[in-house]
Amino acid sequence: MAKEDQVNGMVRLVNSMIVRMIRWNLAPPQNYVLTVQGRKSGKPYSMPVRLIIGDGKRWLVSPYGEVNWVKNARSAGEVSLSRGGKTEILTIHELSPQESAPILKEYVTRESIVRPYFDAQPESGLDAFAAEAPRHPVFLLQE
């Protein structure tokens, strides 16, 4: 089984607590509830995410790989981000491996909980993160 397919019970527990905190606007400012429309069912699916924010831009990273929210977001071409009672609809642009590398490095450096799902670690070079990019999609969020 691939690393990205091994989301464990601890991650699920932490995610449920974080969703509540985000909705109550008690989580750090880079945390949001991501909602995507199911590509087959049409139903909305929500989960907590932590964005990388810098230079006036926001990026969405999939630490667990080609999971359903990634497939649904690609299909829809947009996602919804909510926080503290406010919601925004954003279009997405998937980055190339070279574009993704510095974002992935920053993400792994900041988010120790996802490190087991990556071969590259904070001290790894950008080439190692570019090699990870096909397994960990990164999206630029645009209004």
CATH label of the domain that carries residue 105: 2.30.110.10
**Domain assignment of residue 116, given as a range:** 3-142
pLDDT at 2 over 50: no
The order of strands in the sheet holding 86-94 is 44-50, 31-37, 78-83, 86-94, 138-142, 57-61, 52-54
What does the longest C-alpha to C-alpha distance in the chain come to? 41
Q: What is the pTM of this model?
A: 0.87
Structure tokens at 36: 């995507």
Give the pLDDT confidence score for residue 7 in this predicted structure. 60
Query: Using an 8 Å Cβ cutoff, are 66 and 133 in contact?
Result: no
CA 65 – CA 43 distance, rounded (Å): 21
pLDDT digit string (tens) for 17-50? 888 899 898 988 999 999 999 999 999 999 899 9
Using a pLDDT cut of 90, give the percent of the chain over it.
Answer: 77
CA 143 – CA 139 distance, rounded (Å): 13
Using a pLDDT cut of 70, give the percent of the chain over it.
Answer: 94
29 CB-contact burial (10 Å; exposed 0-12 / middle 13-18 / buried 19+) = exposed
The residue that leads in pLDDT, 10 or 19, is 19
Q: How many domains does the chain have?
A: 1
Query: Using an 8 Å Cβ cutoff, are 32 and 51 in contact?
Result: yes
Structure tokens at 135: 């397994």
pLDDT at 75 over 60: yes
